[in-house]
Structure 1
Amino acid sequence: MNKIEVAAEVTDEAPPSVSFREAFLFWLKLGFISFGGPAGQISIMHQELVENRRWISERRFLHALNYCMLLPGPEAQQLATYIGWLMHRTWGGIIAGVLFVFPSLLILITLSWLYIAFGHLPIVEGLFYGIKPAVTAIVLQAAHRIGSRALKNNVLWAIAAVSFVAIFALNVPFPLIVAMAALVGYIGGKMSPSRFAVGGGHAGSQKSFGRALIDDETPTPLHAQFSWIGLLKIVLAGALLWIIPMGGLTAMYGWEHIYTQMGWFFTKAALMTFGGAYAVLPYVYQGAVGHFAWLTPTQMIDGLALGETTPGPLIMVVAFVGFVGGYVKAALGPDHLFLAGAIAATLVTWFTFLPSFLFILAGGPLVEATHQDIKFTAPLTAITAAVVGVILNLATFFGFHVLWPKGWDQGFDWISALIALAAVVALFRFKRNVIHVIVVCAVLGLLARVAIS
C-alpha cells in the first residue's frame, strides 16, 4: 500500500468527537487571532474547522454561513456561534460567540483608556495623524468591495446613488434609508425579479476535505431540531436578557442617563447592521457624534482605526464609542472615569451582540431543517445596494475631516493627502493587508510630525 492510499484511508475516517473543553480552548484562541475583518475571520474558521480539524463539512459550513449572511450583525461571530451551538448545544454556541468577542472587548477597553489618557502626547498624535488617512482609504475600499459585488445593474446603481444623496445632502436617518430600500426591493422583486437576483452570499462549493465530524449526511442532532417550545424558550430568554438590564438602567439612572440611552441606541444599531460593520457606522456616527455628542468626529475616526487593528468583529468599535462616551461624560462622576468608561463599553457590547445570539439560537433549528442553499431576498439585495451609497458617504465624511481638519477655509493638508493616496495604492493596486497599511501609515504620520516640528 503506497503513501497516497494510506492518506486516503486516513482522510476517509471521521475525526474523533470533540470535548467541550477542547472546543472552549479553540474558541478562546480564535478570539485572540481573529484579525482581518469578516473575510479573514471566516477564512481562519474555514481553514481550522473544515480543512484541518474536520469538525464540520464544507457544505454544512457554507450552509450555516449563508444563513448568517442574511442576518443583521457580524456574520463571522454569528457563524462561530452557530457551529458552537451545533456541536455542543446552547452553551456551546454561547461560549463560542462570547469568546469571539470577549478578548476584543478587553483589548479595546485598555486601548481606549490609553487613547483618552495619553492621546495628547506628540508620539500618539503623530501615529494617529498617519492612521486617519489610512482609515479613509480602508472605508473607500470597503465601498468598492461591496459595490463590485452588489451593483450588477443600473437599478441597483440608482439605489446606491439615491442613498448617498439622501444621507450626504439631506441627512436622512440610516434606518429610514434601509426601510425605503427594502420597500423598493420588495416591489422591484415582484415587478422585475431578474434585477434583484444578484445576492446569494457564498456559493456552495462541493470541495471535500474528507469525512467530517458533522458531515453532509450527518443527521441533525436532537437539540438542533425545531420545536415550538424550544423557540418560545429562546424568545422568552432573549426578552428577559434585554428587559432586565434595560429596566435596571432605567430604574437606577432614569431614561435620559447616558447608560440607558446607549442601551437603547445600540439595540437599534444591532438591528441595522445589514451589510456588515461599515454599513452601520454612519448610523452610529449620526447618533453618537451628531445627536448625543458622546465623542467627536476625530475620535470616531481614531476609534475605527483601533477597531481595524484589534482582533474580533469590526463592529467592536462600538466598545470604543461607549468607553469614550462614558469617560468623557463622567457617567459615574468625576472620581470614577475609567470605571464609567469600562461599564459603558461593556453595556454597548451586550446590547449590540445580544440579537446575534438570539438570531442563531432561535433560527438555527429552522436552518437545520433543510440543507439547501439560502438566497438573498430582493429586499436584502436592495438594502445591500443602498449600503454602498451609505459607506461612500462615510468615506466622504472621513476624507473631509482628514484633508481639511480645520475646515474648508483653513487650508488643505497635503501630507495627509499623500499618505491617503499611498494607502489607496497599497490597498487597491497591491492588495496589501489592512493592518500592514495602518502600521506603515502610522509610521509615516509620526515621521511627518517629527519633520514638521
Structure 2
Amino acid sequence: MGSTAVNAAPAGAAAETGPPQSVTLAGALPVWLRVAALSFGGPAGQIAVMHRILVEEQRWISEHRFLHALNFCTLLPGPEAQQLATYVGWLMHGTRGGLVAGGLFVVPGILAIMALSWIYALYGQVGLVAGLFFGLKAAVLAIVLQAVRRIGQRALKSRIMVALAAAAFVAIFFLDVPFPLIVLAAGVIGYFGGRAGRPEFQAGGGHGASDTVAEGPFLLGDDELPQERAAPRDTLRVLGLWAGLWLLPVAAILLALGPADVFSRIAVFFSKMAMVTFGGAYAVLAYVAQQAVEHYGWLKPGEMLDGLGMAETTPGPLIMVTQFVGFMAAFRAPGSLPPLVAGTLGGLLTTWVTFVPCFLWIFVGAPYVERLRGNPALAGALAAITAAVVGVILNLAVWFALHTVFGQVRPLAVGPLRFDLPVPASVNPFALLLALAAAVAVFRFKIGMIATLAACSAAGVVLHLAGLV
C-alpha cells in the first residue's frame, strides 16, 4: 500500500503540462519534505503552501478534492494543516502515505521547539533572551489580529455568520462558556441550516485555500476513488490500533504515578484537548492558554506568549506550542528527575498525546468522509463553526493584548458577566508602542510575518540593552 504508485488520468486526458504518470511513496517523499520545510506561518500559510505545491505545481489532487479534505480537517479537533497533509498522503498512498506526510509535517517543529525550550528554561529570564521574547510578544499580538481579519473575511459573509462570531466572543470572554460547547452549538446550527438549504451556511474553502482554481488533469481527480475504502472490519481494526497507541501510555502513567503527578496531568489534559479543540490552531491556543495559565498554573501569561512566538517562527504546526507548555510544566515539577530530563519527557509526552489522535481521526474517518463530498449539511456545519472560531480567536487576541500591554488585570463581575479588566496604571508603554508598530507593519505596509517577528525581536533586544525593559 505504501509503495503503490498513484496512476494518472486515462491516456489522452493529460495536457502537455499535465501531471506525471505515477508517483510512488518514495517519489513523493521529497515533496513532503519540501512541504515540511516550508510549513511556517500558522495554519493559513501552511495550507496555502500545500495548495500551491500539491494542487497547482504537482497536480496530485484536484481543487475540489483538496477543499473537501480541508473542510473535513477543519471540522476535526486538532491542527487542520497537519491533518490535511495526512489526509492527502492517505489518499495517494494509503496509511503509509498518511504516516509519512503527517509525520514529516511535525518532525521539524518537534526538534526546533525542544531546542528553544531548553534555551528558554536555562536562559529565558537572562539578558538578551528576555529582550528578544519581549519583542516577540508584541509581534505575536499583531499576527493573531491578522488571523482574526483573514479568517473573518472568508467566514463572515452574512449577518448570520457575523452574529455567530459575536455570540461566540461574548460567550467565551464574558460568560466563560466552555469552548467545546461553543463549537458544538455552532456545528448544530450550521448542520440544520445547511440541511435546510440556507445559502448563508454554504462553506467556502476554509481559511487557507487559494482563491484561484487550478486546472487539471490531476493524479487524483474528482472521480478517482481512494486506495482504502470504508469497511466496518477495517474501521474497528484501525480504531483499536490508534486508540491503543494513544491511550495505553496515558493509562500506564496514571497507574504508575497517580493522578496528581505532573506527567499524569499533562497526559490527561492534552488527551482531552485532542478530543475537544475544534476550529484550528488559534482556537486551540485560546483553550490551552486559559487552562495552562489560569487553571494549572504551569505558565505565566507572558510565557504563553513566548511559546507562541517560538511556534510562529519555527516550521511545523502552530499547536507545537503545546510541547513548550508540557516542557515547562514538567521542568518546574520534576520530582526525582533532573529538571531538563523531566522537561524533555513532558514535552515529548505532550506531543505524543496531541498528534497520535490526529492520525486516528484521519485513518478512521477519511474513508467515510470520501462518501460525503458535496453534502450540504456537512458544509453548513463547517461554515458555522468557522464563523464561531472568528469570535474565539478574537477572544484570544484580547487576552493576549491584556497580558502583553498591561502588567496587572483584575477580575470583574457584573451580573452573569465575568471578565478581566486591565489596571491602567500598569500599562507598559514600550510594549504598547511595539504592538502598535507591529500592527502597522502587518496591516498597513503588508510586511510578512517572519520580517515582523524579526524586527520586533531586535527592537526588544535594543530596549533591553538600553535598560528600558
Q: Would you say same fold, with TM above 0.5?
A: yes
Structure 1, 309-318 or 392-401: larger mean CA deviation: 392-401
Q: How far is 1:189 from its partner? A: 5.9
Unaligned runs of 5+ in 2: 1-13, 410-422
1:195 shift after superposition? 4.2
State the distance in 2 between where 1:93 and 1:29 align.
Answer: 16
The answer to which of 160-169 and 354-363 deviates more is 160-169
The alignment status of 1:207 with 2:209, answered yes or no, reads no
Q: How does 1:50-449 map to 2 (within 5 A)?
A: 50-185=55-190, 193-197=198-202, 199=204, 201=206, 207-209=214-216, 211-217=217-223, 219-221=224-226, 223-330=227-334, 332-333=335-336, 335-369=337-371, 372=374, 376-406=378-408, 408=423, 410-449=425-464
Residue 22 of structure 1 is matched in structure 2 by 27
Residue in 1 aligned with 2:420?
none
Q: Which shows bigger deviation, 234-243 or 281-290?
A: 234-243
Q: Compute the displacement of 1:301 (Å).
A: 0.7
How many aligned residue pairs are there?
Answer: 440
The answer to whether the 8 Å contact 1:164/1:390 transfers is yes
Offset from partner CA, 1:321-374 (integer Å, 9 cap, x none):
1111111121x43x4212211111111112112222122112222233465477
SS in 1 for 2:17: helix
Flag structure 1 segments of 5+ consecutive residues without an equivalent.
Answer: 1-7
Aligned residue number for residue 11 of structure 1: 17
- 1:228 and 1:34, CA in 2 relative to 1: closer, same or farther beyond 3 A? same
**In structure 2, what is the equivalent of residue 5 of structure 1?**
none
SS at 2:298's partner residue?
Answer: coil
TM-score (norm 1): 0.88
Q: How many angstroms apart in 2 are the aligned matches of 1:280 and 1:182?
A: 16
Corresponding residue SS for 2:276: coil
The answer (yes or no) to whether the contact 2:193–2:377 under 8 Å persists in 1 is no
Paired AA for residue 443 in structure 2: F
**Cα pair distance change 1:64/1:413, threshold 3 Å:** same
1:241 Cα deviation after fit: 1.7
* Greater shift in the superposed pair: 180-189 or 412-421: 180-189
CA RMSD of aligned residues (A): 2.6
Tell me, in whole angstroms, the C-alpha distance in 1 between the residues paired with 2:461 and 2:448.
Answer: 20
Structure that is richer in helix per residue: 1
Alignment-derived partner of residue 42 in structure 1: 47
Q: What do the CA deviations read for 1:361-408 (whole angstroms, capped 9, x no partner)?
A: 122222334654777544443333332222222211211122112452
Deviations 1:88-138 (A, max 9, x none): 221221121111111201110110110111112221111111111111111
Structure 1 window deviating more from structure 2 (83-92 vs 94-103): it is: 83-92
CA positional deviation for 1:188: 5.8
CA distance in 1, matches of 2:51, 2:393: 28
For the 8 Å contact 1:136–1:420, the answer to whether it is kept is yes
Letter in 1 for 2:215: S
Distance 1:283 1:243 in 2: 21
Residues 179-220 of structure 1 deviation map (CA, whole Å, 9 limit, x = unaligned)? 3434454566678934434555358965325x4333445x42
Mean Cα deviation higher: 48-57 or 88-97: 48-57
Q: CA deviation at 1:148?
A: 2.5
Pick closer, same or farther for the CA change 1:43–1:379 going to 2, 3 Å.
closer
Give the share of equivalent positions with the same residue, in percent.
48
Deviation of 1:258 after TM superposition, in Å, equals: 1.8
Give the direction of change, closer, same or farther, for the CA distance of 1:176–1:108 in structure 2 (3 Å limit). same
Quick one: structure 1 residues 94 and 191, their matched pair in 2 at CA, closer, same or farther if it must change by over 3 Å?
A: closer
Distance in 1 separating the partners of 2:123 and 2:347? 19
Match in the other structure for 2:413: none
- The answer to whether the Cα contact below 8 Å between 1:66 and 1:373 also exists between their aligned partners in 2 is no
Please give the alpha-carbon distance, in whole angstroms, between the structure 2 residues aligned to 1:139 and 1:116: 25
Instruction: Determine the C-alpha separation between the residues in 1 that align with 2:392 and 2:88.
Output: 32
Could you tell me whether the CA contact under 8 Å between 2:203 and 2:379 is conserved in 1?
no
Q: Are 2:195 and 2:377, in contact at CA under 8 Å, matched by a contact in 1? A: no
